Structure formats: C-alpha cells, structure tokens
A and B are shown apart, each in its own frame.
Chain A
Amino acid sequence: MKSNETVNGPDGDQDVKDTSRRNFLKQSSLLTAVALTPGTAVKAAVMHVDEKIAAVFEKMPLKMEVNGKPQKLSVEPRSTLLDILREQLDLTGTKKGCDHGQCGACTVHVDGRRVNSCLTLGIMMSGKKITTIEGLANSDQLHPMQEAFIKHDGFQCGYCTPGQIMSAVACIREGHAGSEHEIREYMSGNICRCGAYPNIVNAIQEVKDGGQTV
C-alpha cells in the first residue's frame, strides 16, 4: 500500500544528541589542563584526540582574501563573516539588517557568488575570495551599478543599498536581468523598507542595457 503514513520506526535524530552536551563540556574542561602542557598536547595529538584539545582554544586562524587583499585573522568559529568584516576588518559598508537571512542587507560575493554573510561562518571561508561593497569601485571610479543607483535614486535611507548593489551586480553577471519581471524575481532576496524598488529596477536595467562589464 502506497501511503504517506510512515509514523513508525524513527531511526535517528539530529537534536536528541544535544542532551549529552553537558558530558562533553565536563570532558573539555578536563582537557584544558591537558592542553596547557605542550608535551602532553603533542602526545595527545598523536593519539587522535587533537580535535578535543583544539576545542579548548577559543580562536582559530583564518586566511581569506577580502577585496583583493590577503587577510590573516584569528576568529572564533561562531563569528559570522558579516561580523568579521564589520568588526575585525572595519569594513562597515556591509550592513546587518535581520541577521537571519531574511533581508539581504549583508549580501557579499564569495568566489563570485552572492551570499548572505550573516548566515556564513567566517571559519568556513578559508581560502575564499570575498568582495564587499568597498571592493566594487575602481579606486576613485565608482562601479557602473553605484553610478546608476545614484542617477536613478535607487535608495532613500540607504541602509539596504550595499546589499542591493552587490546583489544587482550578481544579478546581471548571472544572466538574470533579462526583463523587469526577471530582475524583480532575482532581486527578491533584498528587502528595502523605504520601497525604492522601482528605481532599483531602473538602475539595474540601465546598467544591463548599457552593456558595460560589471
């Protein structure tokens, strides 16, 4: 019998495992003592418990390229790319709106792909090339999309704008700016409280139709 009713036989679960968190913490505080002794640490690493010892060190090294510049950082694994850009690298052009992937204010490019930096763990960016709004202009020369946003009044308060512009550039590069409808659909990940949408669409259409390389 074909049916959707397979309630029985749970084989496993993701969150049930979380209950023994306390055990792990107990274990890792024990390991703190071990880790502080270099000799022991080396031996432990050989014994394949190296990853447990790593747990007691809060920060980890991270190498990535940001706007063409190599960066060597030390980050907590829980830091998002957004927070690292803003707080460690002082690149405050990228904005924090919702911090939950719902607004697009934090949009940056990772290896050429637009992503939400608020849901991206920085530690996972090792070896990647990041481009933020600060990296778009060619020294004093604004990027064509920046020019177009100014010309078409593509913003009011401006808070969503860096994310809009990063997304707009990607939208054209991906080949998703073929019509007003397509632009609206492929810009839907960027919310604008001020409702500058019609002007944003105009700016993107102009850059697309201008045929410049973006």
Chain B
Amino acid sequence: MKQFQYICPTTQQGVLDVINKPGTKIIAGGTNLVDLMKRGVTAPDKLVDINHLPLKSIISTPKGLYIGALALNSAVAEHELVARQYPLLAMALKAGASPQLRNMATVGGNMMQRTRCGYFYDTTMPCNKRAPGSGCGAYEGVNRMHAIFGGSSQCIAVHPSDMCVALAALNAVVIIAGKKGERRLPFTDFHRLPGEHPEMDNHLAANELIVGVEIPNNHFAANSYYLKVRDRQSYAFALVSVAAALDIENGIIRHARLAMGGVAHKPWRLFDAEQALAGKPVSEDSFKQAAQLAMQGAKGYGQNAFKLKLAPATIAEALKHAAGLA
C-alpha cells in the first residue's frame, strides 16, 4: 500500500475544509477503501478519518427514522426501532457481508462502496471504471455477476450493497453536507447508471459529506421481505436480491415497493411492477405478472443470462414471503 497522510478532524467543518483537495479520501469503516488501497486500485495521498464526528445516532423523528452516516451496519441491523418499523432494512443488512465486517462498515461507507467487478479489482485488466478509456473487460468477458439492467457498452458492473436495495425501496432520503450547507437527495437519485462515465458511481460531489439518511414512516412493516440469492448461503455477494414491501388491506395490495440488487450499476427500483401491483389482490398470479413486467428492458451479456430467469423468480418469491404466502 502506498504511504499516505492521515488526519482525524473532530468537526464537520474540519472535514469539509479538506476533502475537496485532490488525492484526498474520507475513511469510515475502511472495509471497502482499505481493500481497494491494498490492491492498488486507489492510492490516496491523504486519508480523512471521519470517525470522530457525532454521526452515529439512530433516532425516530415525527417523519420517520434518522440514521447517522457513521452508524455501524450491525448497530442499525440490531436496533429495536429498525426491527419493529423497518424490518426490510434489518433483513437486508443482516444479509450483507459478515458479522465482523458489519461491525466495521458504516451506513455512509456502505452507500459509497464502489460499484465494482473483478476487472475493476484486477489492475492488469482493462476497466473503464478504474481507468477511463481502457475498455470494459466484462462486456464480452467473465460476466456472470454482472448487470442485466441499465448497463452501457462502457460498464456492466453492479452495485454490491444489500442495505442500499432496502433503502431504495423505502424511499429513503440522503442528507448531504457541503460548503454551502445541507442538501437532500432521494435515495433512488443518489447512485447513477454508467452511461459514458462509469468512473462515477453516484452524485456526491468531491467536496461533500454524507451525514445521514432518513426513512419516511410507512405501512410496510408487517409485510416486508428481503430475499438474497447467492452462490453460498451466507457471506457472499448477491447474484440477485429483491427487497419487497407491501401495504395490504383486506387482501388487496394498497401500495407495493420493489427494488433489486445484483442487477444494475445502482439499486434498481421496479416502478412499473409496483404500479401494476397497486389495487391487485394478494395472489401468486399478481406476483408473477408483476415479476414479468419488471423484466422489460433486461439484457443478458452471456454468462449472466441466467439472471433473466432467476430475477423474475426471485421477485415472485420475495413477494410471496412478504405477503405471508410462502
């Protein structure tokens, strides 16, 4: 690992004053950043440790739940308020990484972990995300883990987070601090698709800091499910995952929320399927139809073509679990 300078500001202003400088990176839990630094994928000159900022709180507000950017993934997953009111988030977090890693990983770091694939990690291979203009090794290469939605000829990597899939489904809002004050961004607009600029994973500017996320109150607690399909039962990234949340009254779906992981450069919301489910009776048929609708525009690239079948099956299954039919 290349040498770097380490600083540890104790105020938000202190962090904002330095993060804009070239070669500077924030470190929170370090589980993604240190890994990438060890592999030489990224080599900052300066690390800004933000762990001394007071951003760990998990509190209920009149509008919903506020979670500080430095709250640990394990702390959020185990939190009583989360378990009771936002079980979808708890399930997604518990499906991610390992207990040790969740004890280090923070909410902000989880959002900011790189959208990535094996070619991004392998510095001897082409990768437009790591080295813009060098080509995409995965497009016609080893792409079993890769995107079936929203990819471009430049990049078909997927965002690996489980937590973010749940937060996208729950219409969370990201709270961002910058030099000019705070701004709020809908979670679904935080991450971006690769397009012509796969080197950019999201819309956070270099001089900005994530301070927290807010999840609005909802009626999904009784009927939520996170289903993650992977090569082994635990401690593996998703092939496909689905966050399903239903608001059911007298056997009729009032509102549905669906998001998928492992299929796109960002957490992938299934807006059309959600709309189609509204007003439908709770039934396997409704779920299968919604799952088919969700697959419009999906595209396989060879090795990952199996996801075209796995994804709708996983959507239908997650909905069954959420509705209590499984």
Task: Please report A residues at the B interface, Cβ cutoff 8 Å.
Answer: 2-21, 23-25, 28, 51-52, 54-55, 58, 60, 76-78, 80, 99-101, 104, 107, 113-116, 119-121, 123-124, 167, 170-171, 174, 176, 184-186, 188-191
Are B27 and A185 in contact, CB atoms less than 8 angstroms apart? no
Are B22 and A189 in contact, CB atoms less than 8 angstroms apart? no
Name B's interface SS: loop
Q: Is B199 an interface residue (CB 8 A)?
A: yes
Known: A4-B268, A100-B35, A116-B104. A123 touches B149 (CB 8 A): no
Are A11 and B205 in contact, CB atoms less than 8 angstroms apart? yes
Instruction: Identify which of B23, B207, B208 contacts A21 (C-beta below 8 A).
Output: B23
Are B104 and A12 in contact, CB atoms less than 8 angstroms apart? no
Are A17 and B24 in contact, CB atoms less than 8 angstroms apart? yes
- Would you give the shortest CB distance from B171 to chain A, in whole angstroms? 11
Are B206 and A99 in contact, CB atoms less than 8 angstroms apart? no
A101 CA to B96 CA in the complex, in Å?
13
Instruction: Identify which of A17, A77, A174 contacts B99 (C-beta below 8 A).
Output: A174
A188 CA to B94 CA in the complex, in Å?
12
**Given contacts A2-B271, A4-B149, A24-B46, could you give 20 more A-B pairs where the C-beta distance is less than 8 Å?**
A3-B271, A6-B193, A7-B194, A14-B206, A15-B199, A16-B200, A17-B21, A19-B22, A52-B5, A78-B3, A101-B35, A113-B74, A114-B100, A115-B103, A119-B104, A120-B34, A123-B6, A171-B99, A189-B97, A189-B235
Are A24 and B22 in contact, CB atoms less than 8 angstroms apart? yes
Are A77 and B5 in contact, CB atoms less than 8 angstroms apart? yes
Please, which residues of chain A bring their CB within 8 A of the CB of B189?
A: 6
CB<8 Å pairs between A and B, sample of 27: A3-B271, A4-B268, A10-B197, A12-B205, A12-B206, A13-B201, A13-B206, A15-B42, A15-B130, A16-B206, A18-B42, A21-B43, A24-B45, A55-B46, A76-B3, A101-B100, A101-B101, A115-B100, A115-B103, A116-B31, A116-B104, A174-B99, A186-B99, A188-B98, A188-B234, A189-B98, A191-B235
Q: Is B112 an interface residue (CB 8 A)?
A: yes
- Across the interface, name the chain B residue whose C-beta is closest to A7: B195
Interface flags for B1-43 (1: CB within 8 Å of A; 0: not) read 1111111100000000010011111010011001101110011
Q: Is B264 an interface residue (CB 8 A)?
A: yes
Known: A20-B22, A58-B3, A116-B101. A12 touches B268 (CB 8 A): no
Known: A4-B188, A176-B99. A119 touches B6 (CB 8 A): no
- Which chain B residues (187-229) contact chain A, with CB distance < 8 Å? 188-189, 192-197, 199-201, 203-208
Please, which residues of chain A bring their CB within 8 A of the CB of B44?
A: 18
Are A18 and B23 in contact, CB atoms less than 8 angstroms apart? yes
- Would you give the shortest CB distance from B190 to chain A, in whole angstroms? 9
Are A185 and B205 in contact, CB atoms less than 8 angstroms apart? no
Known: A55-B46, A119-B34. A114 touches B199 (CB 8 A): no
A5 CA to B130 CA in the complex, in Å?
22
Instruction: Identify which of A11, A15, A114 contacts B204 (C-beta below 8 A).
Output: A11
Q: Is B269 an interface residue (CB 8 A)?
A: yes
Please, which residues of chain B bring their CB within 8 A of the CB of A167?
A: 99-100
- Would you give the shortest CB distance from A2 to chain B, in whole angstroms? 5
- Would you give the shortest CB distance from A171 to chain B, in whole angstroms? 7
Instruction: Identify which of A13, A80, A100, A104 contacts B100 (C-beta below 8 A).
Output: A104
Are B22 and A113 in contact, CB atoms less than 8 angstroms apart? no
Known: A12-B206, A13-B199, A124-B27. A21 touches B22 (CB 8 A): yes
